[in-house]
Amino acid sequence: MFRLNIPLAILLGVCALAVVTARHQARKLFVELQSQEQKGRELDIEWGRLQLEQSTWSMHSRIEQIARGQLRMSVPDLKHIQVIKAADAGSAAPASAAGGRP
* Percent of the chain with pLDDT strictly greater than 70: 85
Residue 56 or residue 99, greater confidence: 56
Identify the three-state secondary structure at position 56. helix
* Percent of the chain with pLDDT strictly greater than 90: 54
Residue 95 CB partners (closer than 8 Å, separation 6+)? 102
pLDDT digits (tens, 9 = 90+) for 32-73: 999 999 999 999 999 999 999 999 888 888 888 888 999 999
Residue 62 CB partners (closer than 8 Å, separation 6+)? 56
User: What is the reported pLDDT for 91?
Assistant: 58
- Rounded to two decimals, the pTM is 0.51
Domain ranges of the chain: 2-70
55/19 Cα distance (integer angstroms)? 54
Residue 99 clears pLDDT 70, i.e. is over it: no
